[in-house]
Amino acid sequence: MDEQHVLTPRQESVGQLTLNRPRALNALTHAMVSAISDALAAWERDDRVRAVVISGAGERGLCAGGDIRAIYEDARAGGGASAEFWRDEYRLNAYIARYPKPYVAFMDGIVMGGGVGISAHGSVRIVTERSAVAMPETGIGLVPDVGGTYLLSRAPGELGTHLALTGAVVGAADALLCGLADHFVRAERWGALSGALAEGEGEGEEAVQDVVARYAGVAPEGRLAADRVWIDGCYAADTVEEIVDRLYGHGHPAAKEAAETILTRSPTALKATLASLRAARALPTLERVLEREYRASCAALGTADLVEGIRAQVIDKDRAPRWAPRELSGVTDAEVGRFLEVPVGGDLWGDRGAR
């Protein structure tokens, strides 16, 4: 077990979770997910712990996502380790969202995929001038998971659809706009803020919010607010094909760039992502959305695109995936339906009911 990859000291009245794989951008392994869950459960019962803070070791970011090299090897071998990892990871995401004590996420640097799952469901979410937040799953043949379709489906207008299909990276202001974060704090002030949280008086989220507010400021201007002039209209279309057509036809250079980016992503994952986002809008709870995401992730294990996408982006790094099918027109409704309805082995919640 990678116990050293999650540090769990208690500083005064705060439980400190530090992801400690800096050379791997703190990518999550199954053992790390288990260690985080165990620490949270222990601190929930510990009256000395007033709040929890999660951050990443090193200078590059909180967490770049799950360990997709391990997923790649498992998918190639036809194993079941990835499904087990996702089951425990999604349970953790739900646990964080309903955690009874303030859960403070320091979303500094790279925060992508699984990194969003362990931060953006928290009650106090802090971004910095270095934050780079994204759900880039369509680029490796996956649908946004870890509650990503829940979060993005609830972003203003069609901003979430844009981020989900393109996998675009956003900074602090845009993360705040999309509801992925709550406060902007300059990175250089984090040490002082962390100390103040540990020494802070009072209990509960309001007391923690008051401490954070003393260190918070205004984020540098983002770009998504201005881009809504083309995003909301183009991404409101019913199909990915029509979205691409609208983007190309709009005339704004950024809209054309978005269309070109979308066409580099897995066609199957794109169509499954749009269907998942639209379905997530109608679901009332994070847990219900996670159930659908679990089905989608397990369905992806049976596609060629997942292995090919990881190969191109992470293993060989040639950035030239050979998707199957290559075109959006080749993706059938039946294939998309597999991502939404395919039964998976075992229930997501099991004896850890989260509803």
Q: Among all residues, which ones are annotated catalytic?
A: 66, 114, 137, 145
Query: Which H or E element spans position 165?
Result: helix 159-166
User: For residue 102, what are its two tokens?
Assistant: 């303030």
User: Pairing relation of β-strands 103-107 and 124-127?
Assistant: parallel
DSSP 305-353: HHHHHHIIIIIS-------SSSSGGG--HHHHHHHHH---SS-SSTTS-
Do the Cβ atoms of 78 and 343 come closer than 8 Å?
A: no
Q: What tokens does 152 get?
A: 């993005």
Torsions phi, psi of 133, nearest 5? -105, 135
User: Would you state the structure tokens that stand for residue 127, as one six-digit string?
Assistant: 């971004």
What are the DSSP calls for 254-277, one per residue?
A: HHHHHHHHHTTS-HHHHHHHHHHH
SS3 state at 313: helix
